Amino acid sequence: GVLLSPYEVWMPGPKCFTQSELELEIQKCLMDNHYFANERKLLKDIYHQYQDCLSTDRLIRFIISKLED
């Protein structure tokens, strides 16, 4: 079982069961930047507190603060 349910909400997008399905879905993703965009944004907003591209800076500051303690 999956810890997060319903599965389809937490794992949006197509589910591929064959090589040809996978290839088709990869093509769709490459051709359409908006493919499942709303679903991806919803989950990104839930999972990621920070979305400012400064995670490395925060990590470095955290490590330095621990080294200084």
For 24-46, how does the pLDDT look when each residue is reduced to its tens digit (9 = 90+)?
A: 999 999 999 999 999 989 999 99
Q: Which of 11, 14, 3, 16 is nearest to 43 (CA)?
A: 11
Per-residue pLDDT, 64? 97
Q: What angle do CA 60, 64, 65 make, to 5 degrees?
A: 115
Q: Which residues, in sequence order, are CB contacts of 25 under 8 Å at separation 6+?
A: 13, 14, 16
List the structure tokens of 54: 């400064």
Predicted confidence band of residue 12 (pLDDT cuts 50, 70, 90)? confident
Which pLDDT score is estimated for 2? 58
Whole-number Å distance between alpha carbons of 69 and 20: 55
pLDDT at residue 59, as a whole number: 96
- Residue 11 pLDDT: 86
Alpha-carbon gap, residue 24 to 57, rounded angstroms: 38
